[in-house]
Amino acid sequence: VIRFIVSLIVSILQEYRKKQEPVRHITFADKIVAAMHRHGYPIFRGAEELNIVYVHDHDIDGAPNNDTPEMDTFNDACVVIRFVAGGVPLIIDAWKATVDPGVYYRDHPIVSGGTAYIKPGHYRAWQVGMHNGDHEGLLQTGGEVTVSRDKNKNLRRDASDWEQTGYFGINQHGPSVRVGNAPLAKVGPYSAGCLVRESVPAQREFMALIKTDPRYRADHEFIFSSTILEKDDI
Ligand SMILES: [Ca+2]
Ligand SMILES: [Ca+2]
């Protein structure tokens, strides 16, 4: 009887231990890296190297959202990913952002052919600098990007729009420091195609983080890459 009870306890303990074994769930970072891999985009896995990624229509916890462009919200996620031991990608930080221009610029396009939308893809195009003399951002001074121009003014990239590749000042910035620390509720006039975080502190955190990249520390003219993913890529 004692032997039976002992073996019962042992088997219960074994079951318990099995349940305690960690299971590695698929993370938002895993899904992003898988999408980058699928597209053949460069992925930086070196020590402390960072990957800047914008994901359309996703909250920063990785949940997709259904905000419409007319809502003019910061409904895209900006995530910074670093690989840790074992080649595991981790999101170091993430912020609400927009990769779409605001409704304001649909109605007031800078170029008569339509407001610019950055085409999803991977670009090596950005250097640290002052955005509009207002705050530090990543400026599109380092390379070309491809944009769609919203010719039919429907706030969506579609077949009737046209593409252009070049230098358009598609910067990565935040709101003007004049607005204070509160997040903006609407994109408003803050994006004419730029990649914009929703608050001044978010922009400061973003810049502080990306400047830890050893490639930037070695060369302050370093040209940062960024990837823009579609909602369906995840
Ligand atoms: Ca958006
Ligand atoms: Ca359109």
- Dist. CA 63–CA 75, nearest whole Å: 11
Q: 162 C-alpha to center of ligand 2: Å?
A: 9
Nearest to 56 by CA among 119, 150, 147, 143: 119
Pair 153, 230: CB distance under 8 Å: no
Q: Residue 180 corresponds to which amino acid?
A: G
pLDDT of residue 165: 97
> 3-class SS at 189?
helix
Phi-psi region of 34 (alpha: psi -120 to 50; beta: other; left: phi over 0): alpha
Strands 224-229 and 51-55: parallel
Asked if 72 and 188 count as a contact pair (C-beta separation under 8 A), the reply is yes
Amino acid at 69: P
Helix (H) or strand (E) holding 195: strand 195-197
Cα 198 to averaged position of ligand 1 atoms, centre (Å): 12
User: CA-CA-CA-CA torsion for 74, 117, 61, 226, nearest 10 degrees?
Assistant: -130
User: What per-residue confidence (pLDDT) applies to 136?
Assistant: 98
The residues with which 93 forms a beta bridge, in sequence order, are 80
Q: Give me ligand 2 centre to Cα 106, in Å.
A: 10
Q: What is the whole-number distance in angstroms between the Cα of residue 55 and the centre of ligand 1?
A: 9
Taking the centre of ligand 1 as the mean of its atom positions, its distance from the CA of residue 99, in whole angstroms, is: 6
Low-confidence ranges of the chain (pLDDT < 50): none
pLDDT at 12: 79
* Residue type (1 letter), 226: S
| Per-residue pLDDT tens over the stretch 178-202 | 999 999 999 988 888 899 999 999 9
Residue reference for tokens 């231990």:
17
Q: Which amino acid does the sequence have at 94?
A: A
- How far is the centre of ligand 2, averaged over its atoms, from the C-alpha of 67 (Å)? 17
pLDDT at 19: 67
| Interatomic CA distance for residues 24 and 229, integer angstroms | 24
Distance 114 CA to ligand 2 centre (A): 8
> Distance (Å, rounded) from C-alpha 91 to C-alpha 58?
14
What's the gap in Å between 191 CA and the centre of ligand 1?
Answer: 11
Query: How many A from CA of 116 to the centre of ligand 2?
Result: 10
- Collect contacts of 19-25 with beta carbons under 8 A, ≥24 apart: none
